[in-house]
């Protein structure tokens, strides 16, 4: 069952999504060679609790951390550990918070130092595909229109694999609600979009084949071919006047600009 949100409920979710993005901006300000995922995770949890909220991921289905930190060939759901980040790493950080009975959710992929043009292009295209999907999230369209918009944009670039096993999702009083929001599909298919639908759209795109595998920790998802993967996420509300992006990457990107170790991922348009 899909739970459509009232205007008041959407504002609660927006507040939480903005807190998520402020947490990710903190991560952006701290991320540098030598720091570990566990150190970033501790700072993120402290920030969230200091703002009278609760980490949305910690304890969810027994996940042990505040952040999902996934580097290089890790697609999503990486557990923060003692690995020291180094120049040339790409790092996807996914975060959720819970406050006032609602969740917020967003993700961003960071670049430490210099990477190849090939990998940078993957990040740019993945980020572009997120906004292509958002643009299709309009009353009267169908879920397949969002999914197809993401897939078409990514796959017109040869050598990119759109992950099938992991999808976006509805969000509200539960972290994961109906409907699922795949990053692949056909236009005109699926649930009809109505005012008040709140969903997290999150393309996960591999530089190589679409296949993934689960790591030994039972959580981390990796590319089967060992090639890098990119991941970006916004939570949005479908409204009568168009999609309303409830999260905000702007403070994250401002923090990236101020961190000389990190590189900005600039969209083509």
- Asked if the peptide bond before residue 170 counts as cis, ω within 30 degrees of 0, the response is no
Distance, in Å, from the CA atom of 139 to the CA atom of 136, rounded to the nearest integer, reads: 9
Half-sphere exposure for 70 (CA within 13 Å, toward CB): 29
Half-sphere exposure for 192 (CA within 13 Å, toward CB): 3
Say yes or no to pLDDT of 174 above 50.
yes
Annotate 36-104 with three-state secondary structure: EHHHHHHHHHHHHHHCCCEECCCCHHHCCCCEEEEECCEEECCCCCCCECCCCCEEEEEEEEEECCEEE
- pLDDT tens track for 244-265: 999 999 999 999 999 999 999 8
The phi-psi region of residue 157 (left if phi > 0; otherwise alpha if psi is between -120 and 50; otherwise beta) is beta
pTM recorded for the entire structure: 0.97
Distance, in Å, from the CA atom of 252 to the CA atom of 17, rounded to the nearest integer, reads: 12
Distance, in Å, from the CA atom of 257 to the CA atom of 170, rounded to the nearest integer, reads: 31
Distance, in Å, from the CA atom of 265 to the CA atom of 190, rounded to the nearest integer, reads: 32
Say yes or no to pLDDT of 200 above 70.
yes
Exposed (0-12), middle (13-18) or buried (19+): which is 36, by Cβ within 10 Å? middle
- pLDDT tens track for 82-137: 999 999 999 999 999 999 999 999 999 999 999 999 999 999 999 999 999 999 99
Say yes or no to pLDDT of 269 above 50.
no
Say yes or no to pLDDT of 35 above 70.
yes
> What average pLDDT does range 213-221 have in this prediction?
96
C-alpha to C-alpha distances, 268 to 124, 127, 129, nearest whole angstrom: 8, 10, 11
> What average pLDDT does range 209-229 have in this prediction?
97
Say yes or no to pLDDT of 10 above 70.
yes
Distance, in Å, from the CA atom of 228 to the CA atom of 40, rounded to the nearest integer, reads: 21
H/E element, 142: none
Taking all residues of the chain, what is their mean pLDDT, rounded to a whole number?
A: 97
DSSP secondary structure letter of residue 5: P
> What average pLDDT does range 40-55 have in this prediction?
98
Two structure tokens written together for 63: 């996940």
> Looking at residue 187, what is its pLDDT?
97
CB atoms within 10 A of CB 207: 24
Question: Which fold is adopted by the domain 7-263?
Answer: Creatine Amidinohydrolase (3.90.230)
**Are 229 and 184 a contacting pair, CB within 8 Å?**
no
> Looking at residue 158, what is its pLDDT?
85
> Looking at residue 268, what is its pLDDT?
54
Exposed (0-12), middle (13-18) or buried (19+): which is 195, by Cβ within 10 Å? middle
């Amino acid at each position: 069952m899909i739970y459509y949100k009232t205007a008041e409920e959407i504002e609660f979710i927006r507040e939480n999504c903005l807190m998520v993005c402020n947490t990710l901006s903190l991560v952006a300000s701290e991320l540098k060679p030598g720091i570990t995922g566990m150190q970033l995770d501790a700072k993120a949890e402290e920030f969230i609790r200091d703002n009278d909220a609760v980490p949305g991921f910690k304890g969810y289905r027994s996940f042990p951390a505040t952040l999902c930190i996934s580097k290089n060939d890790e697609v999503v759901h990486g557990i923060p550990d003692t690995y020291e980040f180094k120049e040339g790493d790409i790092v996807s950080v996914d975060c959720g918070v819970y406050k006032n009975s609602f969740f917020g959710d967003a993700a961003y992929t960071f670049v430490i130092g210099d990477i190849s043009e090939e990998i940078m292009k993957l990040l740019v295209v993945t980020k572009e595909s997120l906004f292509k999907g958002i643009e299709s999230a309009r009353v009267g369209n169908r879920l397949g229109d969002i999914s197809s918009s993401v897939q078409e944009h990514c796959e017109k670039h040869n050598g990119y694999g759109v992950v099938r096993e992991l999808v976006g999702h509805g969000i509200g009083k539960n972290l994961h609600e109906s409907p699922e929001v795949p990053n692949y599909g056909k236009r005109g298919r699926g649930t009809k979009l109505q005012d008040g639908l709140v969903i997290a759209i999150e393309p996960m795109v591999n530089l190589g084949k679409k296949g993934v595998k689960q790591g030994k920790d039972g959580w981390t998802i990796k590319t089967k071919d060992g090639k890098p993967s990119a991941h970006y996420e916004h939570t949005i509300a479908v409204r009568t006047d168009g999609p309303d992006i409830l999260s905000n990457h702007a403070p994250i990107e401002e923090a990236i600009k101020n961190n000389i170790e990190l590189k900005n991922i600039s969209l083509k348009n």
